[in-house]
Structure 1
């Protein structure tokens, strides 16, 4: 099964605001629109796959209209007959999984056919896991039907790499955008800049936050933290060995509670307002990102150190961290730098957003932070 392409289909069969949903789907680059009858595909542009889905078998003489893809229950022999009759159409096997025999049918199709579209009757994702495992070494694509966006997000992540595609039952405008974001499996990359440390100062006691995530973070991965919305430093997780204590690769000792970090959709969040279940942006030293779920935020009083740095064009960045050797930031080449050993001239990695913020959202307005 291929995992390089995440297909996004919108199932229009129950859509009420059809025209608006189609317009958004075209704008977002959705891969396919699903309908039950050829007439419902008429008028759709060829820039998007027009998918005809039938829960009953189709025959070579069936009118397929302008369909680019036809999905229906079929045997390999029936598929060959249909392909001969309609050489310009891609055919896929539809399987409705309701019990052990139909699950076996889905596994067989997913491991042998070019395209398999599956509906699972039960809410558990164990049958999908079984299908994905059966198809793991195969070249075909598996598209799984989802009743809502939450289910679509889960389908994309089952067994880590998830289904090759999702056919989301479309009900409202906005779902095409959200489905495309779910298919990307993360968030947009960020540009990291090299910042030169100009000053470090012990600033006394204060509350700092440790962000315990629900994911293992990499050796070159952390979260961006800063005292202002216009500059953050990449703080690494407790992935690297420490004396006297075990590693905690899910944790970032992130900074004082007033600090910003990046959440979802490019919105900044105060460390103090994060709660279990929120999502923050984890960033690697190459700028790639992913969203990770917060499991806990641990706030305690600790001695603090203030780190002032600046970019090559003179923009100032400040980060206030716990004053302790095991609290670390990342430098060029994923160099791990202990915060208490930073001195003027050291280089750290950071991010310099250009927009000001209002309640965490980017906005074009005058805003001075100092």
Structure 2
């Protein structure tokens, strides 16, 4: 069993850092926390980790101030995150007991799946060491929910960016289906919301938006250029203020409630997902269209601005402008069970139109 000695690391500082770490565990279903351990201290590795977007840096107590001088970030002394090597059942039992007490511990690299499953059955605060993307993905998928955090060791620095992208940005895959457009109608003026993200999106990427949480349309980002307007690939002209938007963590929200700093779910035409942070939202009165589409016997609707730059997505991933959309066209949507309360999934008889 291996533990770092507390040494000169003060109780007050240890308590502060431990408290910061515990807040990491309030996370969604899929997104995990990624910590990078730089012991011994390596400034180049730490700079790369900070640029990659890790949630915290773990260093020796004497190096905490060095990291704090590089960026505004969470720095954890390794003494506040003791490491337990699983050599026997007793080590697993000790980890279980310490986690039950609210302590922050990491399971040393070399862990096996069954002991981690046992920990996950009893704790929501399981953290493991990894050194490769494959190990990180394995840890994130154990029991279909995975550990809450991984500590990437120095030998994993070359794959660190990929690990962050997989565990922090990817939100898994959603099932999109092809729906048949049944009508496109002019419906007058309404307030619509432009979601300007801090990310450059690609053709076939956007947000899922709709009148009902059970039937949402893939609205393409403004990735396409035309002779009148330049592309704005950071923007999704997402629809009317009342519409539902599918969010990270299996939640929904009204478009009107989105604000700067919020994370939104970006969905690709193949169903893969990622996160983007909102830089700003613009709500303005514009002429609107009511678009309806049907999957099987289920029909859904969405209100989108009547303009050439607003596009939904065909089943082959190509965007199609709403001004040329017509009855019979095939576009991508997501169907789901209805029933949300403050954005959270609930079991309730409900009809939305």
- Say yes or no: TM over 0.5: yes
Residue 194 of structure 1 aligns to a residue whose secondary structure is: strand
Change (3 A) 1:191 1:104: closer
Residue 323 of structure 2 aligns to a residue whose secondary structure is: helix
Q: Deviations over 1:315-353 (max 9, x none)?
A: 111010001111111111112111111111100101112
Q: How does 1:57-136 map to 2 (within 5 A)?
A: 94-95=39-40, 97=41, 103=43, 118-119=59-60, 121=64, 122-124=66-68, 126=70
Provide the rounded CA distance (Å) in 1 between the counterparts of 2:319 and 2:38.
Answer: 51
Provide the rounded CA distance (Å) in 1 between the counterparts of 2:269 and 2:321.
Answer: 16
Change (3 A) 1:361 1:94: same
Compute the TM-score of the two structures, normalised by the length of structure 2: 0.59
Matched with 1:255 is 239
Matched with 1:278 is 262
Matched with 1:349 is 332
- The answer on 1:243 being equivalent to 2:243 is no
Provide the rounded CA distance (Å) in 1 between the counterparts of 2:291 and 2:200.
Answer: 27
Q: Deviations over 1:43-95 (max 9, x none)?
A: xxxxxxxxxxxxxxxxxxxxxxxxxxxxxxxxxxxxxxxxxxxxxxxxx9931
Which of 360, 363, 367 is the matching residue for 2:343? Answer: 360
Q: Deviations over 1:188-244 (max 9, x none)?
A: 211101010001111111100000001111112111110111111101111111222
Change (3 A) 1:316 1:106: closer
- The answer on 1:208 being equivalent to 2:192 is yes
Matched with 1:309 is 293
Provide the rounded CA distance (Å) in 1 between the counterparts of 2:265 and 2:350.
Answer: 24
RMSD of aligned C-alpha atoms?
3.7
Residue 241 of structure 1 aligns to a residue whose secondary structure is: coil
Which sections of structure 1, spanning at least 5 residues, go unmatched?
1-9, 32-91, 108-116, 128-143, 149-168
- The answer on 1:299 being equivalent to 2:283 is yes
Q: How does 1:18-33 map to 2 (within 5 A)?
A: none
Structure showing greater radius of gyration is: 1
Residue 185 of structure 2 aligns to a residue whose secondary structure is: strand
Contact 1:232 1:352 in 2 (8 A): yes
Matched with 1:179 is 149
The alignment of Structure 1 onto Structure 2 pairs a total of residues equal to 239
Contact 2:181 2:327 in 1 (8 A): yes
Provide the rounded CA distance (Å) in 1 between the counterparts of 2:45 and 2:318.
Answer: 51
Contact 1:329 1:338 in 2 (8 A): yes
Which sections of structure 2, spanning at least 5 residues, go unmatched?
7-13, 48-57, 79-102, 106-122, 127-146, 151-162
Compute the TM-score of the two structures, normalised by the length of structure 1: 0.57
- The answer on 1:330 being equivalent to 2:293 is no
Change (3 A) 1:275 1:105: closer
Q: Give structure 1 regions of 4+ aligned residues with deviation exceeding 6 angstroms.
A: 10-15, 104-107, 180-183
Change (3 A) 1:103 1:326: closer
Which of 201, 212, 215 is the matching residue for 1:231? Answer: 215
